[in-house]
Chain A
Amino acid sequence: MSECKDIAEEASNYIEGNLPLSKRLGLFFHLVWCKCCRNYLQQIRSTISTISVIRPRENDNTDTDDLAKKLRALSQQDSSD
């Protein structure tokens, strides 16, 4: 019988459908009667949607305009060689 702890550990795999059928069914039946775990799974889904909208980025101090200029200059130099 699956437990709340199993849901916490397998939430991503359950959402992605990456589990063997027996495991998936065990988690499914747990979710049927456990409201806490249904809410937890919903929160994980909300987290995934939020991340895909907010799109947090790496910390980076690169001067992207300067890099773009240098790469353009390099490409022009290569094409004239």
Chain B
Amino acid sequence: MKKNSKLTSKDEKELISKLINGDQSAFEFIVNEYHNLMLSVSRAIVGEAFADEVVQDAWISAIKALPKFEGRSKLKTWLLHIVSNGAKSRVRRENRSVSLDQGWESVSADKFDNTGHRFDDVLTWDETTPEDLLANDQLQAVIETSFQQLPSLQRAALTMYDMEGIKMDEVCNILDISASNARVLLHRARTTLHQCIEKFQDAE
């Protein structure tokens, strides 16, 4: 089974058929492939306290509904909609609003003069390709830690859009947020991780 999220529809049909036939390796595959992503969406919508429970319920619903899965969407998107619906039901009674962290700055205000121009030069990074950056184990650990400290909505938006290649309108549907909010979340997440790489580069 391919070890990445880009399964073709043929791969998916094969995977679903194996799941329906009770193939243990197929179950291990989908859990390893999608559980963390489902947890990210669940945490973003319902918060840390109920996230695990919502994902567990989503898995049960998905497994029961699997024989009826018609393949009109990708398996990944289908699973994310199940977890998203479960999480939304869970919070329906609460007055949840998307927190966009008022006062957040993409770059600290003290980096600009009163005309909005930068005081300092921005230099090119020594390690410019992802492969160069990844060759540095310490930096990789710094990025992972910084990612885990992002607010859950930012993590979910970043994971779905930048890592999983899910389209923006799907991301908005799954997280139940507007496109402008999703873009703000995405930019904030990217900027925070950029700052963590920048700090690391400056310290090197």
Contact = CB atoms under 8 A, between A and B. Distances in A.
B190 A12 contact: yes
Contacts of B115: 3
A18 B181 CA distance: 13
Contacts of B134: 50, 53-54
Given A64-B32, A67-B35, A53 B124 contact: no
Interface in A16-70: 16, 18, 35-37, 39-40, 42-44, 46-60, 62, 64-65, 67-69
Given A8-B106, A13-B187, A51-B158, A56 B118 contact: no
| Chain A contact residues: helix, strand, loop or mixed | helix
Interface residues of B, number: 59
B118 A58 contact: no
A54 B198 CA distance: 17
Contact of A68 (B27, B117, B197): B27
B186 A12 contact: yes
Contacts of A16: 183
B40 A58 contact: yes
A4 B108 CA distance: 12
A75 B158 contact: no
Interface of B: 19-20, 22, 24, 27-28, 30-32, 35-36, 39-40, 43, 52, 59-60, 63-64, 66-67, 106-107, 112, 115-118, 120-125, 128-131, 133-134, 140, 143-144, 147-148, 155, 158-159, 162-163, 183, 186-187, 190-191, 193-194, 197-198
Interface of A: 3-6, 8-9, 11-13, 16, 18, 35-37, 39-40, 42-44, 46-60, 62, 64-65, 67-69, 71-72, 74-76, 78-79
